[in-house]
Structure 1
């Protein structure tokens, strides 16, 4: 005879086995049958982490709004930013002009919307050029080392010792002082001055990341297999060293927008007929006591944009840093 307790235990084990088999079959059905799950990359992990951060959502929404203003200003206003009426000079905000009028009778709201384009273009171009120069030099210095690393480091030290405002004054005063300088030439000089004075920071960040990546096993394995230096740099080191540079570029973009406004306020950057937040702030400095609204609104948009890029950079840095998870 079979013991009742033994039979109960056997039936229980058999039922449990059927349950596990059913769960296993359901798991295989949900995924790819017979295939292991694809490993997730650092970018996908970072994106999943960013989507859950309120700081990223707020900063991304502000930046998206500013970019929409720069690309399609007609969606926000139909007023010509170049139309002036001296009869409305210094009038405050009203239903006809939400932000009021400046000293020349320009609609401040229309000029604030259209001014986003010049500020964003200068910031993006300056950031791109800075990352290209500094990232390339830092990657080469970190990989080859030796005399090239020493030379790049000493050149970077020279630029580090030059104050940004003083260096920009020298560059823009030397090359952009002629009255025949066009708007495109002025924008090019502003972008060049920012990039020339800012690339050492990006170079040092990329150099440190390249030195760390060069010591990893996958680089040593690629070198042992006979891979060329260019292949090692572009296929192995660059993808694993670009994360800190990406964080720097995000924060630097906001800083460069503020730098353009600073240079325009000093009379060395963009100037009329270009419409930018820096130009509007420069035009309001003489009438700020009698018409503070001429400074308030462009300065508020400039501050919010710079702060949004800084917050975005902080969120990206925390998402790409595995130590914070």
Structure 2
């Protein structure tokens, strides 16, 4: 029986409204045997200790079917991006003009493109470029934005003003137009120019999220106590502020990852992103768009793979946001 439990028989009847409220509370506790009394604190973990934000979030995520489904899809995409030969034994560059634009055949379930290349093999190998761009661009934008935004939010003053004005400049650059201008002069066929461009335009959004989180976290009592005890700026940032301000950044970065994959496909479709001979869903969609009437299968499969990938990352980000946001509990 909890220490704060008071039997209703022990409460006098001459105390007016306070006694009535106490009796009502005692009766409520009697009707719910084993219930935690008011103010008992957050749910306890397996060892009786209160769960932290991260353990509580993981506890919720494991029971969220949206998170489980999207995580399974993403794990599958990452595996085929690293080892595409596990499910596609063909060569994505091998062409047979005699089979150009032909539909599904035994051993070639997705048909062939305009050059007689196997669409199924190209869809599988196209995951590598999209996942690489999305993960690397998100990591770069998150690291750069968190570093600049966190430092500006912590120190304030002129550094905060400079970061805000610099972020406003990048926010004013149209993404598609900027990509067409920036990437049109790049002749490299690798993914790194596209990654660099996305990081260049993606860090301001995350920097604002990081700045706001740090400004909020540094006003907490435990940070003020650490400062009063003589903790340096580096210790307060790394030990007390960063672990409690990183959750919003993770949520935004997870959702942005799917957006960056779609952006890479859009730029490749317009001819400014990845360039042949790189295998990319955006390049294949651009090639197939001209033949959508005569050979719709050429457009259907890479576009479907792209849509499923973007949707999986957005669903994952939504699930992580719901788990990490205490206001939604």
User: Do they superpose with TM above 0.5?
Assistant: yes
Match for residue 113 of structure 1 among 121, 124, 138:
124
Give 1:242-253 correspondences, 5 Å limit.
Answer: 242-253=246-257
SS at 2:105 equivalent: coil
- 1:255 maps onto 2:266 in alignment: no
1:51 is aligned to: 62
1:99 is aligned to: 110
Output the CA distance in 2 between the equivalents of 1:237 and 1:226: 15
Output the CA distance in 2 between the equivalents of 1:228 and 1:280: 54
Residue 38 (structure 1) shift: 3.7
Q: Which has the higher contact order (CA 8 A, sep 6+)?
A: 1
Residue 99 (structure 1) shift: 0.5
Give 1:95-244 correspondences, 5 Å limit.
Answer: 95-174=106-185, 176=186, 181-184=187-190, 187-244=191-248
- 1:317 maps onto 2:321 in alignment: yes
- CA deviations on 1:189-243 (whole Å, 9 max, x unpaired) are 1011111111110011101101100100111111111111111111111110000
SS at 2:51 equivalent: coil
- CA deviations on 1:119-170 (whole Å, 9 max, x unpaired) are 1001111001100111111101110111111110011111111111111122
TM-score, normalised by the number of residues in structure 1: 0.85
SS at 2:151 equivalent: helix
2:83 is aligned to: 72
Match for residue 294 of structure 1 among 289, 295, 298:
298
- 1:265 maps onto 2:269 in alignment: yes
Q: What runs of 5+ residues in structure 2 fail to find an aligned partner?
A: 1-46
Residue 112 (structure 1) shift: 0.4
Output the CA distance in 1 between the equivalents of 2:309 and 2:188: 27
Aligned length: 286
1:86 is aligned to: 97
Output the CA distance in 2 between the equivalents of 1:290 and 1:257: 28
Q: What runs of 5+ residues in structure 1 fail to find an aligned partner?
A: 1-35
Output the CA distance in 2 between the equivalents of 1:246 and 1:281: 31
Output the CA distance in 2 between the equivalents of 1:96 and 1:121: 28
Output the CA distance in 1 between the equivalents of 2:137 and 2:303: 21
Residue 173 (structure 1) shift: 2.1
Residue 65 (structure 1) shift: 1.4
TM-score, normalised by the number of residues in structure 2: 0.84
- 1:37 maps onto 2:48 in alignment: yes
Q: Report the RMSD for the aligned CA atoms in angstroms.
A: 1.7
